[in-house]
Amino acid sequence: MPEEKLDDLKASLAQTLGNHGAIELTCERVGCFPQLRFPLVLWTGVHEALGGKVRGAALPVRRDFLRAGEATSNDSSEPNPAGGDALDRLQSEVSAACDHFAEKPDARPFTGHVTLGRFRRLGREDAKPAARVIEAYAGQQFGRWITRAVVLFRSDLFPGRAVHTKLAQFPFRGSPGGP
């Protein structure tokens, strides 16, 4: 995005995000993109925690992959299959606030997740240990927290690494520093 549009983007996000209250989120499950046989990205799902219960269910990893190296039922690009109403609404509104600044808006469905790591050309035999880890943590909950702000980052990609720079923080309504 051109630097001259950054202030307009920040204003759009501030207006959108100032209307939201804090959201309790949870981090659970692990999986990979695009599939277990040839994983490129290891993720853990992030979604809204509702009424003390986590919304969304872990997908089991089929054991036959570990033996035969075949595709599994967890070959999913859906870390957040059920989603949460407040988180989904927040994402939708943030996307709408950003779409006219993007060269091409992202048409993929929202899947709340945190990237834990990336693999480079992992072969089938090397993917088997990753599949075992995914199976071991498939239903694990890693933590819960209250989200009170959104941070806008710029990501600069370099060979073998990425540099993420904080550009702005947008506190939610009622949060310290927020509206």
| Number of structural domains found in the chain | 1
Q: What is the pLDDT of residue 51?
A: 53
For residue 101, tell me if it sits in a domain: yes
What is the model's pTM? 0.71
For residue 72, tell me if it sits in a domain: yes
Per-residue pLDDT at 8 exceeds 50? yes
For residue 15, tell me if it sits in a domain: no
For residue 152, tell me if it sits in a domain: no
How do residues 76-105 score in pLDDT, each as one tens digit?
Answer: 334 434 445 788 889 999 999 998 888 887
Domain coverage including residue 47: 23-147
For residue 56, tell me if it sits in a domain: yes
- 122 vs 15, higher pLDDT: 15
The gap from C-alpha 23 to its chain's centroid, in whole angstroms, comes to 15
For residue 172, tell me if it sits in a domain: no
For residue 142, tell me if it sits in a domain: yes
Query: How many angstroms separate the Cα of 37 from the Cα of each of 5, 87, 96, 138?
Result: 41, 31, 35, 16
Q: What is the pLDDT of residue 84?
A: 53
Per-residue pLDDT band at 122 (split at 50, 70, 90): confident
For residue 39, tell me if it sits in a domain: yes
Q: What is the pLDDT of residue 168?
A: 95
How do residues 38-86 score in pLDDT, each as one tens digit?
Answer: 788 888 999 888 754 444 433 333 333 333 333 333 333 344 344 457 8
Scan for tokens 């040839």, then name that residue.
Answer: 38
Cβ 131 vs Cβ 65: under 8 Å = yes
The gap from C-alpha 29 to its chain's centroid, in whole angstroms, comes to 12
Crossing angle of the two packed helices 6-17 and 85-99, in degrees rounded to 10: 150
- How many Cβ atoms are within 10 Å of 28's Cβ, its own excluded? 22
